Amino acid sequence: MYSFYPLYSEQDLFVNDILTGQWMETDDDSASLEEADGIWIFEHPYIDKKKSNERDSLSYVLTLKAKEGESYVESVFDVHLIKLGGKYFLDFYLHDFLEGDDITLGDFHVVPVHTFAKLEVTDNGLFINWFDPEWLEELVRQNKIRIHHEDNGDFILLTAKTSELQKFVSKYVNSKEAFDEGLQVNLIRSNQ
């Protein structure tokens, strides 16, 4: 599920350290860091690194190292955690999009979006589950939802403002169908 607007507003955020640390993407509790499919590092960002070491404990920066062959490809996201319908949700947004000296023509044709995922916290793990995009497409095709969106035939982009997004997510927070075939990631806290 892609959204032009975030799932959170400033008043939805709360001080927490739920995600802080290094996590391994794996289904094997005994896997080593080298065996993980990915390494997820959540840190609170500096408020102003040039002026102080104070961190923003309302948000996270995620450095995601995804394994491709024998090496890792790194991406950085801004992540915000909120609670809707009694469940935790994460809002992911690509960090530093179109910054730097090496911008290519292809970069101008990519628009960063927010994606949302439900979060379940266990004793030593995190389970992240994104909405099933086919489920959303089917609701749109059947004209069963009224949330503002654009559908270009390839992608559905939610264009609803934050309050409307929150109502939509809260309505389907316990729907098995909404998450059943969505991207799922198991993370285990790394001790390395």
pLDDT of the chain along its 192 residues, tens only?
899 999 999 999 999 999 999 999 987 777 777 777 889 999 998 887 777 788 889 999 999 998 888 888 888 999 999 999 999 999 999 876 555 566 666 666 677 899 999 999 998 799 999 999 999 999 988 988 889 999 888 889 999 999 999 999 999 999 999 999 999 999 999 876
Ranges of beta strands (E only) in the chain are 2-3, 21-25, 38-43, 60-68, 71-84, 87-94, 114-121, 125-130, 149-151, 156-158, 184-189
The answer to whether residues 25 and 186 touch, using CB atoms and an 8 Å cutoff, is yes
The answer to whether residues 60 and 44 touch, using CB atoms and an 8 Å cutoff, is yes
Q: Is 77 left (phi over 0), alpha (psi -120 to 50) or beta?
A: beta
Angle at 31 between CA 17 and CA 89, to 5 degrees: 35
**3-state class of 104 per DSSP?**
coil
Global confidence as pTM = 0.89
